[in-house]
Amino acid sequence: MSARDRTGTPVPEGDAGPPEPAPPASAEETPSNWRRRLRTPLGAAARLVAVEPRRVFVPVLLFAATVLSTLYVGRLFVEAYAIEVGGPPGETGTILDGWPYAAALLGILLCHEMGHFLAARVHGIPVSLPYFIPVPFFFGTFGAVIRTRGRIRSRAALLDVGAAGPLAGMAVAVPCMIAGLALSEVRPLPAEPYQLEGQSLLYALLKRLVVGPIPEGHDVFLHPLAWAAWIGFLVTMINLIPVGQLDGGHVAYALFGRRYAQVSRWAHRALVALGVGTGTYFGVQAVLAGRDAADVAAEFAVGGNWLVWAAILWIMNRATRGHPPVDDEDRLTPGRVVLGSTCVVVFVLLFMSVPLRAVTP
């Protein structure tokens, strides 16, 4: 997932002033010499994506590790899908079979992070390359973070940086979901326990458009490519929660200014209420159905993920002392108000009250 520190300074170090001559070819390559070259006419076109070479190694290493971890998990998705639909378990019998899942998920996450990166560079904010977090289980990664230095003082810059990531990621996630659903199969629901993915408005709409009406007692068994897109939807939804250093927190602060604190408090309360409400609903349903104690406990725990998120975000807010302030007198243009409102609409379309739920027939 993508909770991150995206605060930054308004002017990057050393960007002001006339171009300086490039150092001689024999000069030692240093960060200062490297920055000078970016100020020359030949380096001007590269400024948006420029990162000091000494700060590239760790992000590249982590990205390579994440490629391997998502290939490994993608291979597990391929095997599970083969069992569900009775198809072949893969072509090579290696982790390379997980490439559709890995390519789609990494494409979504990379576009998300590079959206933040480029928006920050456009506004002259020093920013690192994304640091991906590889894990050899769950989804294969916990997302990525981008580091900036200082504070973003302009509401326009804050909105652009916060909105660019989710919208760029969705530009990849939606086509991946359409292609993944086209590859998926509609089959009868299994008689044994299974995991049911959350049904957002956008996901349900795309299923209807691509797959068509689904018969009673059937569902779409997702191809690994569709699973990657669904995870992209989930990550974007979580990032757009209007709290703290999440993308939604940046967008909400830019839109509401000092009223953001009230928005954030209500969002926190809503997460707690959502966790308690969903857990109670499914737990009571299990009790009324006469399920055994283990099933009842599992159903009451359905809302626990929202309680965990509420706790994590509360701790992060306490650690960062809330959202760093921006210039409240800085007004947004109508175009940026539309941009921020688009993020709100995307959040509503992606919202899932229960992202994942274990179902026992």
Give the Cα separation of 10 and 292 in Å (integer).
Answer: 59
Q: Which residues contact 345 (CB under 8 A, 6 or more apart)?
A: none
Q: Taking the CA of residue 59 as centre, how many other CA atoms within 13 Å lie in the half-sphere pointing to its CB?
A: 18
**For the segment 166-193, what is each residue's pLDDT rounded down to a tens digit?**
999 999 999 999 999 999 999 998 888 8
**For the segment 306-347, what is each residue's pLDDT rounded down to a tens digit?**
898 888 888 877 766 656 666 666 788 899 999 999 999 999
| C-beta separation of 254 from 158 below 8 A | yes
Residue bearing the bigger pLDDT, 116 or 8: 116
| C-beta separation of 124 from 11 below 8 A | yes
306, two tokens = 């929202």
| C-beta separation of 166 from 239 below 8 A | yes
What residue segments make up the domains of the chain, in order of their start? 31-359
Residue entry with tokens 């000091």: 52
Contacts 24+ apart (CB under 8 A), 332-338: 332/155, 332/156, 332/159, 332/254, 332/255, 333/156, 336/156, 336/159, 336/160, 336/254, 337/255
Q: Which residues contact 21 (CB under 8 A, 6 or more apart)?
A: 36, 40
Give the Cα separation of 112 and 97 in Å (integer).
Answer: 25
Model pLDDT, residue 49: 56
